Amino acid sequence: MLRKALQKATVVVAPVHELDGFGLEELAGKTVITAGVSDARIAQLRDKGVHMVIDGSPCLAGHVLGPHLLDAMIIAATGKNPDDILEDDYLEIITDLQLAPRIIYPNGFKRVNRFAFVIHPLSQEYFKKVKPIELLSHVSPPVFMNSLEKIMAYAPPFVYSTVTGIQSPTGVETEGWLISVGGTPREIMAHSPEFTYRRLLDAAAMAKRLGAQIMGLGAFTKVVGDAGLTVAKRAPLPITTGNSYSASGALWAAHDALLRMRLLPRPKGKARVKFKAMVVGATGAIGSVCARLMARAAEEVYMVSPETAKLLALKESILQETPDAKLFLSAHADKDIAGMDMIVTATSGAGKKVLDIMKVKPGCVITDVARPLDLPPEEVAKRPDVLVIESGEIQLPGDVQMKNIGLPKGVAYACLAETIVLALEGRFENFTVGRGIEWEKVREIYKLGLKHGMKLAAISGVNGPFSDEDIARVRELALTARAGKTVPARNKAVVKTAAVKKAPAAKKAAPAKKAAPRRRAATAKVAPGA
């Protein structure tokens, strides 16, 4: 009962020795009010993550005076009978000697906000990395691993990694925890949404006990059911899915890729690059956000959706915000697709074909922000002369320390970065929840990210981050195709080779992609999602 009470508390008042049996989960981020704290105990409280200690025992001549010792010294100094010393006498003596309680910051005085983020294993391959299971996996039949996968879906959440060292240029620091839930995407989708809600609420309770002030949802956990709304209502701390920064990061990556491809005419002076963009699924929650942002950056924007009335309303709304935007409407993507320099797909087609990739112009940059993806790997492989982007990864500020999530050191997926940005800003609120995304929040989180030192670190496709060599290869193939020469489609072996040639941290993620090609790995086999 005491342990549970400590986990829920913000301030703990107790004799310092009574806290010896408790650890990080009960004391991290807490304020402890006590008396007679020695240097050894301060070191223990530091390791347990205590934020502040208020020690009622003053320090005189380098010695901490406990209440009984201080009382005895006052009695001896005054020469009075203890019963004759009034409370006002004690107060006068303590004030004259300036014996104030000590305020101690075991981990140093600094403003540190705290976050948590939910990850989960992508496939059975993750469980094979656990030592006892690794040996069994080599000799056990598939039915064993299938059973284990089902059992692990019911496992309680646990801390996969502590994240430290994130520091904004503003001076604010944040730290947090990656909390793993045991369900693979197959198990998550096989159960009812309520099953996943319970797992996430358990993770939220753990995050609260650790001292987190906001929690982000990753990968499939943010698309189940109502995409975080129910969890946000029931959780003991604010929730965000990270979808706002995911949309922003994907478009950021697309624009950067367009410039790195060097296929458009170079502008003069400080003028922006002129390009034509198409948004497929423009009337959807994410699509409408992308269309609004594209209207500010592209020379012409083609908005595609079968919902004609919504398209017209969206056009009027965008023109009020960006009067000089050139907008074109269509019910079918293939009509104008051949002339596009950039295409954003943001439909909810769930497996339906949204465009014919064979009709896309060589060198076109396609950004697929739909979840699940509009363009599966087998479609992408047909056009090696086209750059298909799934997301933009973010470089975090500071000397970031955390376990491998399938990316280079200090780089995070945009949904995780959104949680971190909100923690740095002190915005402890339900920021992005539900399937609707507000474009104002997409713009806001982008600006907050720049304020706190976030940078675009990597451009990722279905096979992981693109290297400079990958982009150069696509450019050369695009130039070859534009010259009228034939460009062979990539076969499966080429796709696998491209995945292996990615950044070192992404190599370990490759096995997970085979089992779940529509998601990237966030650890060697754990994904926070994009």
One DSSP character per residue, 74-109 reads HHHHHT--GGG--HHHHHHHHHHTT-PPEEE-TT-S
Residue type, 328: F
Predicted local distance difference test score (pLDDT) of residue 208: 92
Separation CA 286–CA 460 (nearest Å):
19
| Range with lowest mean pLDDT among 94-98, 159-163, 307-311, 476-480 | 94-98
Q: State the Cα–Cα distance between residues 209 and 216, nearest whole angstrom.
A: 16
Q: What is the DSSP letter of 35?
A: S
**447: pLDDT strictly greater than 50:** yes
Mean pLDDT of 39-61: 88
Phi/psi of residue 304, each to 5°?
-115, 130
Say yes or no to pLDDT of 102 above 60: yes
Does an H or E element contain 293, and which? helix 285-297
Total H helices, total E strands in the chain: 21, 23
Cis peptide before 169 (omega within 30 of 0): no
pLDDT band for position 503 (cuts 50, 70, 90): very low
260 versus 405: the higher-pLDDT residue is 260
pLDDT band at 154 (very low <50, low <70, confident <90, very high): confident
The distance in angstroms from the start CA to the end CA of the chain is 39
Is 478 a residue whose pLDDT tops 90?
Answer: yes
What string of DSSP letters covers 376-425? Answer: -HHHHTT-TTSEEE-EEEEEPSEEEE----SSSTTEE-HHHHHHHHHHHH
Across the range 377-403, mean pLDDT stands at 92
Range list of H helices, 97-184: 124-127, 131-139, 142-152
- Cα distances from 258 to residues 328, 391, 459, in angstroms, run 21, 14, 11
Distance CA 389, CA 2 (A): 51
In angstroms, rounded to a whole number, what is the distance separating the alpha carbons of residues 507 and 68? 63
| Rounded CA separation 426/444 (Å) | 14
Count CB neighbours of 469 within 10 A. Answer: 9
Instruction: Compute CA 490 distance to the chain's CA centroid, rounded to the nearest angstrom.
Output: 32
Percent of the chain with pLDDT over 70: 82
Q: Which residues of 400-412 are buried (b: 16+ CB within 10 A; e: fewer)?
A: bebebbbbbebbb
307's CB contacts (< 8 A; 6+ apart) are 283
Read off the pLDDT of each residue in 126-151 and give the average, rounded to a whole number.
Answer: 58
pLDDT at 146: 67
SS3 of residue 323 by DSSP:
coil
Higher pLDDT: 16 or 219? It is: 16
Which residues make beta-bridge pairs with 177? Answer: 116, 162
Confidence of residue 326 (pLDDT cuts 50, 70, 90): very high
